[in-house]
Amino acid sequence: MNFEQIAKKRRAINFFDEKKQVSEEQLKQLVELAAKTPSSFNLQPWNLMVLKSPEEKQKLKPLAWDQPKVVEAPVVLIVLADKATSSKGHPVFEKNWDQMLASKAMKAEQREWFENATQSLYNWSPDANLAFAVKNAGFFAMSLMYAATSLGLESHPMDGFDHEAVRREFKIPDNFWIPALLAVGYKKPDMELAPPKWRKTYDEILISF
């Protein structure tokens, strides 16, 4: 499938086939494809919690507007945006620095510049820090959806959940924000897809001030 086909085929699927599982290999392939997502300074401030067991999904459902797809989909991903990634000392920040040195993208004497740049861009306020993490993790979530389509899977992103309740129930530390839940699986065979939803036109998207 080329990108046009993927973009046109992807839909938010409401009814999942409860009998059709997503294998470990498929999940790994999906995540590794989505991991190609670009991020600011390549900091990749995203993580995923994978819920597969009926018990875990059942625990999530009442916190997610009781949406049936939370238990019907074989896999539900809790997409996490790690606000701490843009701070020195974070393992990914440090790994990224080491990788930049190894690939000669940066020199050792640029360390202070790098710390100042990430500090001034992403840590100057709680809003900026949240925006950094959620924007990049949002791109990652989108990649997961397109990657799912490319692998013959279906997905459904969800905002309809109680952020703090999910944080509490799944013991998610404070440095993480949850940009979305993502159900992944296969469409129930007998369910008809609703016609594609409207989209803003080219002219509606372009704006000037």
- Report which DSSP code applies to 123: S
- Strand extents, DSSP E, the chain: 46-51, 75-82, 154-158, 176-185
Distance CA(60)–CA(176), nearest Å, equals: 17
Q: In the bound complex, what is the minimum distance in angstroms from residue 8's beta carbon to ligand FMN?
A: 10
Distance CA(152)–CA(131), nearest Å, equals: 31
Q: Does 187 bind ligand FMN (CB under 6 A)?
A: no
Question: Exactly one of 63, 81, 172, 180 binds ligand FMN (CB under 6 A); which one?
Answer: 180
Q: In the bound complex, what is the minimum distance in angstroms from residue 155's beta carbon to ligand FMN?
A: 9
Q: In the bound complex, what is the minimum distance in angstroms from residue 12's beta carbon to ligand FMN?
A: 3
Q: Does 12 bind ligand FMN (CB under 6 A)?
A: yes
Residue span binding ligand FMN (CB under 6 A) among the ranges 24-32, 78-86, 104-112, 151-159 = 151-159
Distances (CA, A) of 114 to 27, 96, 127: 34, 11, 21
Binding positions for ligand FMN, 35-74, rule CB under 6 A: 67
- Residue 98 vs 159, nearer CB to ligand FMN: 159
Q: Does 11 bind ligand FMN (CB under 6 A)?
A: yes
Residue span binding ligand FMN (CB under 6 A) among the ranges 27-35, 74-82, 99-107, 158-166 = 158-166
- Residue 27 vs 183, nearer CB to ligand FMN: 183
- Residue 30 vs 181, nearer CB to ligand FMN: 181
Q: In the bound complex, what is the minimum distance in angstroms from residue 156's beta carbon to ligand FMN?
A: 6
Q: Which of 43, 186, 168, 61 is nearest to 117 (CA)?
A: 43
Backbone angles phi, psi at 185, to 5 degrees: 170, -140
Q: Which residues pair with 16 in a beta bridge?
A: 187
Distance CA(79)–CA(140), nearest Å, equals: 9
Q: Does 159 bind ligand FMN (CB under 6 A)?
A: yes
Distance CA(49)–CA(77), nearest Å, equals: 6
Q: Residue with the closest Cβ to ligand FMN?
A: 160
Distance CA(125)–CA(187), nearest Å, equals: 42
Interface residues toward ligand FMN, by CB under 6 A: 11-12, 67, 157-160, 180, 197
